[in-house]
Structure 1
């Protein structure tokens, strides 16, 4: 099955944010490594760069925005879950042209592929609560 360019961008951004969380390497270095070791023809490059750089440079702000909905501290999260939540929160706040349902669904699908067995349920629950504040103009 062919993966859509934005999904591939989210998956690569997840790999980059995860790598940054573990290594604390420079985000440009991580981006270059991902770009040179992956087939970037199927990636929306500008979207990938925006997600990766945004989630890394604004990680503390994103953690603060999502913290009330976690039920635990951000530092207690699995690194994959934390990376997915940072990316999805960044998208919810910065990509107003993308409907929140699409962002949540994409985060769930990425979690199903890369996260622990039931992490997609946790991601769904957290984002469903957070969207009520982060996208209150879009919610009924």
Structure 2
């Protein structure tokens, strides 16, 4: 093999993909994620361990903080989500259950954790607009959940939003109704 064949020129190589934008599954690429989005991802991974393995939150937290990329996450938001969801699991499940078409035990642990995060943020993170909470949880379900799990997360959280953020949702919907078609 000649040297030319073993070292392809730059024009022969496939174009380098950008770090921002969307992956083939429709999820955001790592380069375009905010610190809070990263915090939600790490909280989701921790909550998955909590739901599936019933591991102690302190052990989950120690393990998660050692994962690659954790230093880029909003640590305060991560702590609030991980500990807040675990400490309030019964109350969060009580909010979610009436919106389900099956039992909680039949929900994928990933989608369950996404719904916990969404419900928790609706109640406790009032600085995050409800549409952002909804979108972030859908993105988590797209990236980590089953094929159509994001649609289920969307339906459940869309049903919860008017209950937990009634004034904000009503204001947004009134604004939409007034917008020219």
Tell me if TM exceeds 0.5.
yes
Q: Report how far residue 104 of structure 1 moved.
A: 0.2
12-21 or 1-10, which deviates more: 1-10
Aligned length, in residue pairs: 140
Contact 2:43 2:78 (C-alpha < 8 Å) held by counterparts: yes
Alignment of 1:110-121 (within 5 A): 110-121=140-151
Counterpart residue number, 2:121: 91
Counterpart residue number, 1:12: 42
Q: TM-score, normalised by structure 2?
A: 0.75
- Aligned with 1:64 (options 82, 94, 100): 94
What 5-or-longer segments of structure 1 have no aligned partner?
A: none
Higher helix share: 1
CA distance in 2, matches of 1:39, 1:118: 27
Contact 2:137 2:153 (C-alpha < 8 Å) held by counterparts: yes
Counterpart residue number, 2:76: 46
* Structure with greater contact order relative to length (CA < 8 Å, sep ≥ 6): 1
**Regions of 4+ moved over 2 Å:** 37-41
CA distance in 2, matches of 1:74, 1:137: 28
Counterpart residue number, 2:15: none
69-78 or 51-60, which deviates more: 69-78
